[in-house]
Structure 1
Amino acid sequence: AVATLRAADHGFADEIARRGIKERNAAIDGRAFEGRLPKGVRVTTKHGLGTVPEEEVYLRLKASLEKSLAAMRLERVDMMLLHSEIRPDDFEYPPGEPPKNERSTSLSLYRNAVRPAFARLIEEGLIGDWGITGINHAAATMEALVSGPVPAAVQAIANLLDSPGAMNGTGLAPRPRDVIAAAQTAGVGVMGVRAVQAGALTSSFDRLDTHGPDRDDFARAQSFRDLCARWGEDPALVAHRYALGIPGVDTLVLGVKNREELRMAFEAERRGALEPDQLADIEALSLR
């Protein structure tokens, strides 16, 4: 993992803060670069805050950040993102979903406490800027982008299915293109995520526990894989190039697990967005 990270010595190093692996990944960043980032490498970190008392927001964000900085052997990161989705205060999730205060941040808490906390961390020199996660609750995300201090960036779904897959448990349409358009209007950068939709847009899944919406998306994308086969192209490569060409998407955040995936990501970047005729063929499949 350390050698793979060193091989990717450009762009963003995105230190993951979820699923209990934040400290491990931050430590890998630290071992790879030993606190001395290569020229041009920028680092982000995330925190899944949820909805907590307002007086705890700054303390929780700073505590999470300080753990990451220590593990990565850095004094600051370029950006810290709110990693819990922003929801309307009165929204209720469908039965069977995790408690709403664990998985999401209320819009009022975001306005009253999260934004000021990030501003304070900037003043302290610990972060360069801040961003939000803009998935699932499109309307609330767009509200967060149009009033008051706005984030430097928003993470938005960017794939040819317009699907967050199993990440969505709201029962709402995700509307990622609307979120991206709102970000453009507000002058907010867009970090595209889920370019291959958790493997649904690849030739096969490599995770045995993949289930539910992601499996459904894989089946729905069969016509896309058939099209790629006719082109003689790797579906994952094509999906990444599609995501790179989505209007308004400024960069992609990729979950690269090995050097082959890293090589493919660099190849997609080198080749750039799809040709207009390729894009037209994909859109003709009516997958979104």
Structure 2
Amino acid sequence: MEQRNLGPFGPVSALTLGGGGIGHLWGKTTREECLATVKAAVDGGITLLDMAPRYGDGEAESVIGEAFGGRLPAGVRVTTKCLLGGTPPAEIEARLRSSIATSLKLMKLEKIDLFFLHSNVAPDDHPMRGHPDAAVRVTPYSVFCEHVRPLFETFVAEGLIGAWGLTGIGQPDAIIRLLGESPAPAAVQAISNPIDSPGALKFYDGPTRQRDVIATAKANGVGVLGIKAVQAGALSAEIDRPLPDDHPEMLDYKRAGRWRTLAAEIGEDPADLAHRYALTMDGVDTVVLGVKNRRELAMCLAAEARGPLDADLVRRIDESFD
């Protein structure tokens, strides 16, 4: 598999195995199939495993621990995250340390290679801080700067984590600002699909500006993990789990009718095309997969092996959503 440089984090495979699928977020699967999928991903050349406690309430991290017994294969590294939300500043350090300790125990590891803030960062006075889920999902910019970022740097110095990163689906002005500050994150997770859509994870009005997030990251030497390449199934041939008609993923699925028509015209599976589009996006270093079984993994590995899309096809894809 192609190797790319994830900013200061160094070389990683073009595809990263995400924990959402093996954490049972994207449809039914089994523990046995998840274990086999993780091992097949590494055998297929994937060198980065992107986990989080919220992927199945620790299920994804537990799969990593069982699959490798605390001894990751040579060259394989792991990420995990912590969703702080509006945790009071006095409780942040304990919350972060507890989260890291639990993740290490589940994965049977001694160090996290790359640790992400899973929260959406927003300006202190931004309306998204009034969202019903803000207490769980939104961290104020000032709290991040004054409390979270210094702790991340402390954890690096202690050897508890190798590097830290941001989830880039927060309010774009705040994310872009943080990417230009020092110390900068080693990596950012950014939406990488042709409609720049985070779906149900968008908590603010206005454009996502994900292309600007990616460009700012590259300008400042920050690695970019492309996420939501198939937008939680909206860019697939069909969504494989029941959702209400007004769900953001269903609305994006309806928007993507011309996308599926174009995929059929060129003989591509829509999900494969979405992964190849993300791999072709300028500035994306590695694309995080949400697969839940070996069949889906094999399709993604085959799509990556076919290489990037040509400029004319990228143009036609972009025009299908205009």
Q: Same fold (TM over 0.5)?
A: yes
Deviation of residue 137 (structure 1)? 0.7
1:64 paired to 2:99: yes
Residue matched to 1:103: 137
Residue matched to 2:237: 203
> What is the alpha-carbon distance in structure 1 between the residues aligned to residue 244 and residue 200 of structure 2?
9
Give the secondary-structure state (helix, strand or coil) at the position aligned to 1:40. Answer: coil
Residue matched to 1:282: 317
Residue matched to 2:292: 257
Higher RCO (CA < 8 A, seq sep 6+): 2
Deviation of residue 277 (structure 1)? 2.3
Change (3 A) 1:252 1:229: same
> What is the alpha-carbon distance in structure 1 between the residues aligned to residue 122 and residue 129 of structure 2?
14
- 1:147 pairs, out of 159, 181, 185, with 181
- 1:169 pairs, out of 192, 197, 203, with 203
Change (3 A) 1:89 1:227: same
CA contact (8 A) 1:131 1:153 kept: yes
Give the secondary-structure state (helix, strand or coil) at the position aligned to 1:159. Answer: coil
Give the secondary-structure state (helix, strand or coil) at the position aligned to 2:54. Answer: coil
> What is the alpha-carbon distance in structure 2 between the residues aligned to residue 149 and residue 94 of structure 1?
25
> What is the alpha-carbon distance in structure 2 between the residues aligned to residue 268 and residue 11 of structure 1?
17
Deviation of residue 166 (structure 1)? 1.2
The within-5 A match list for 1:6-17 is: 6-9=39-42, 10-17=46-53
* Cα deviation code 1:203-241 (max 9, x no counterpart): 000011365221111111110100111111101001100
> What is the alpha-carbon distance in structure 1 between the residues aligned to residue 253 and residue 243 of structure 2?
14
The within-5 A match list for 1:172-191 is: 172-191=206-225
Q: Which runs of 5+ in 2 are unaligned?
A: 1-33
> What is the alpha-carbon distance in structure 2 between the residues aligned to residue 232 and residue 269 of structure 1?
16
Segment of structure 1 superposing worse, 80-89 or 166-175: 166-175
TM-score (normalizing by structure 1): 0.95
1:134 paired to 2:168: yes
> What is the alpha-carbon distance in structure 2 between the residues aligned to residue 40 and residue 26 of structure 1?
18
- 1:3 pairs, out of 28, 31, 36, with 36
| RMSD, matched Cα | 1.5
CA contact (8 A) 2:122 2:129 kept: no
Deviation of residue 99 (structure 1)? 3.9
- The percent of aligned pairs where both chains have the same amino acid is 47
The within-5 A match list for 1:221-236 is: 221-236=256-271
Give the secondary-structure state (helix, strand or coil) at the position aligned to 1:283. Answer: helix
Change (3 A) 1:247 1:86: same
Deviation of residue 125 (structure 1)? 1.1
For 2:266, the aligned partner's letter is W
Deviation of residue 136 (structure 1)? 4.0
TM-score (normalizing by structure 2): 0.85
Q: Which runs of 5+ in 1 are unaligned?
A: none
Q: Give the length in aligned residue pairs.
A: 285
* Cα deviation code 1:12-33 (max 9, x no counterpart): 11112226x2422111100000
For 1:221, the aligned partner's letter is A
CA contact (8 A) 1:93 1:100 kept: yes
